[in-house]
Structure 1
Amino acid sequence: MSAPDSFRLGYVPGVTPGKWARMWADRRPRVSLELVPATTDEAVEQIRAGSLDAGLVRLPIDRTGLHAIPLYTETTVVVVPKDHLLTAADETTIVELADEIVLRPHDDTLGWPDGRPGRAGAYEPATTAEAVELVAAGVGLLVVPQSLARLHHRRDLTYRPLVDAPGSDVVLTWPDAENTELMEEFIGIVRGRTANTTRTPAPKAEPAKRDTRPTKKTPTRRTPPRRGTRRR
């Protein structure tokens, strides 16, 4: 069976796989890394269907039939108009959002064990991008991972860290089966293994070659006779 000529990697909005893609190009120049934008649900579905080799997604996900290793946790922020009262401080808390309308887009992946902050709006936007437009229109505020706030940056909006909110965990996920050589390569890249690092046993060292060169004879030194002793 011929080796695959590509490795398909799904990634969710806000995640930036550029650094890993450059490392892949250096290590596997003959195998293209195809980056496929997707939502978390789409990426997981395509991995199970075999149309993606792996995905960079946000938790929570249904891990049935999947491997998942944590990569990093993003700070959660609240997106607000630049003239909002919350901008008076460098950070804010969930309590300070109690009387605010906080938009809840359908693609929100943040987990809220104690309930979502703020008051629900009369309308739930379909996407985070639509929710950002509503924040700019003064309809409400939006709580998202920091990378999404940066992705949807607008001059009339800003954001503040929500210090007591749960973080957003980003993971690498792939099929729960025997890893292919390319999958092992990508796992090594995201885990920081260098190109010289190998997971296979090191080759046995060759025995040292015997030195067959002739050895030089050391001349015999005669001990000089002691004084007063006659040599026979």
Structure 2
Amino acid sequence: MSFRLGYVPGVTPGKWTRMWAQRRPDVPLELLAASTDEVVGRVRDGAVDAGLVRLPIDRDGLHAIPLYTETTVAVVPKDHVLTAVDEAGLDDLADEVVLRPLDDTLPWAGELPGRPAVTDPPTTADAIELVAAGVGVLVLPQSLARLHHRRDLTHRPLADAPRSDVVLTWPDAENTELMEEFIGIVRGRTVNSSRTPRRRDDPAPGGTGRAMRARGGRRAARRR
């Protein structure tokens, strides 16, 4: 038996996997890195028990609880004019070629900033290579900028850009004991406040049944 967790690039489940190992050393936690569409698909078909993904997703038949919101940044060469400021805005990209890889998940509304590229790169990794070659700039969640870090590139926060919400998603069905355990971990519940049912071999609160009967007998003897 194991608990299988899918996650998208840039999301780091390390803190939660360490807590899982402390609380459930008897159940291995298996990790699968994939794109948002792939993780959601595997949650639906039961290949993984839950997924850490970025919105938007099709929530039909799925639970989704928000975990955190990521800062959006612009990735540029280290000698780019944008590096002169600590924080930029979308207007600062008006004259730039803004690359939009086909795996982009930012929730853009309306027109994209800057000028479009001649062709959209297939992946974020490909877009990073184009930025390094001086072809354009790339707007993406900060965690992805860190994941694809290069010594010749840097990034700056974009104050007015759309942000990515990271959620935990799992099937809309009765939760298993392990699912409740993982939900408790990501929500910051302590061991004592966990909703996870006690296993039959766990002692009841206050001690075992034999110990409780013994204490009851001693109290009755004192009353007599």
Same fold by TM-score greater than 0.5? yes
Query: How many Å apart are 1:213 and its aligned residue?
Result: 4.1
Which residue, out of 42, 47, 60, partners 2:38? 42
Say whether 1:11 aligns with 2:36.
no
Query: How many Å apart are 1:199 and its aligned residue?
Result: 2.5
Query: How many Å apart are 1:211 and its aligned residue?
Result: 6.2
Among all aligned residue pairs of Structure 1 and Structure 2, give the percentage whose two residues are the same amino acid: 72
SS in 1 for 2:116: coil
Contact 2:177 2:196 in 1 (8 A): no
Alignment length, in residue pairs?
211
Q: Equivalences for 1:47-62 in 2 at 5 Å? A: 47-62=43-58
Query: How many Å apart are 1:60 and its aligned residue?
Result: 0.1
Q: Equivalences for 1:125-144 in 2 at 5 Å? A: 125-144=121-140
What is the aligned-residue RMSD (CA, Å)? 2.0
Bigger helix share: 2
Query: How many Å apart are 1:36 and its aligned residue?
Result: 0.1
> Could you tell me which amino acid in structure 1 is paired with residue 154 of structure 2?
T
Name the stretch that deviates more: 191-200 or 176-185: 191-200
Runs of 4 or more consecutive aligned structure 1 residues displaced over 2 Å after TM superposition: 198-215
Aligned to 1:96: 92
Distance in 1 (alpha carbons) for counterparts of 2:23 and 2:205 = 25
Return 5+ residue gaps in structure 1 as ranges: 216-232
Which residue, out of 179, 185, 199, partners 1:183? 179
Distance in 2 (alpha carbons) for counterparts of 1:50 and 1:204 = 35
Say whether 1:170 aligns with 2:166.
yes
Which residue, out of 137, 145, 149, partners 2:145? 149
Say whether 1:86 aligns with 2:91.
no
TM-score by length of 1: 0.86
Query: How many Å apart are 1:214 and its aligned residue?
Result: 8.3
SS in 2 for 1:170: strand
Distance in 1 (alpha carbons) for counterparts of 2:101 and 2:170 = 27
Distance in 2 (alpha carbons) for counterparts of 1:58 and 1:199 = 26
Decide whether aligned partners of structure 1 residues 214 and 128 sit closer, same or farther in structure 2, where only a CA change above 3 A counts.
closer
Return 5+ residue gaps in structure 2 as ranges: 199-203, 207-211
Which residue, out of 193, 196, 208, partners 1:197? 193
Q: Which of these two proteins has the greater Rg computed from alpha carbons?
A: 1
Which residue, out of 17, 23, 27, partners 2:19? 23
Query: How many Å apart are 1:166 and its aligned residue?
Result: 1.3
Distance in 1 (alpha carbons) for counterparts of 2:179 and 2:197 = 19
